[in-house]
């Protein structure tokens, strides 16, 4: 089975930095991303991903988080007891890309399908992404309230 996990709000608890981008006139995305190393794992979702890997499923992580913090993100994945996720393919928003996550991930889905990777299941926190995945015929599980 091919499974895609979102990162922020799904595998990583980013609530401590949400004040920088939610409910503010001018979101500070740079500061928001710089604090990603302080996230804590959302253990039930991490355990789900780990168990799926152990059972031979292919896991990928598709995140709207900017690639400006790729090294920090990879360090976080490797250093938080998430070793099983180390080999997962990690797709990140290109630096300077401000497209909505639905457009970004739609492009990734098209590219994945062209290369033969068709997600059977997607784990996400955002309602609009869940709606998008389901519109594409993909089973999508929402792990948190994500109406933002």
Q: Which pLDDT score is estimated for 85?
A: 77
**Calpha distance 12→61 (Å, rounded):** 11
Sites in the chain below the pLDDT cut of 70: 81-83, 147-148
Domain over 2-142 is classified CATH 3.40.50.150: no
pTM: 0.93
Q: Which pLDDT score is estimated for 83?
A: 67
pLDDT tens track for 104-147: 999 999 999 999 999 999 999 999 999 999 999 999 999 988 76
Angle between helices 127-135 and 101-115 (to 10 degrees): 40
């Amino acid at each position: 089975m091919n499974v895609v996990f979102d990162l922020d709000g799904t595998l990583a608890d980013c609530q401590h930095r949400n004040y920088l981008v939610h409910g503010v006139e001018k979101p500070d995305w740079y500061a928001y991303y710089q604090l990603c190393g302080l996230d804590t794992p959302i253990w039930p979702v991490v355990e789900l991903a780990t168990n799926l890997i152990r059972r031979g499923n292919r896991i990928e992580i598709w995140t709207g988080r900017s690639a400006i913090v790729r090294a920090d993100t990879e360090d976080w994945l490797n250093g938080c007891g998430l070793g099983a996720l180390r080999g997962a393919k990690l797709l990140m928003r290109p630096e300077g890309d401000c497209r909505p996550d639905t457009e970004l991930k739609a492009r990734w889905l098209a590219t994945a399908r062209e290369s033969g990777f068709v997600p059977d299941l997607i784990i996400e926190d955002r309602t609009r992404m869940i709606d998008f995945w389901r519109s594409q015929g993909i089973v999508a599980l929402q792990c948190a309230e994500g109406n933002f």
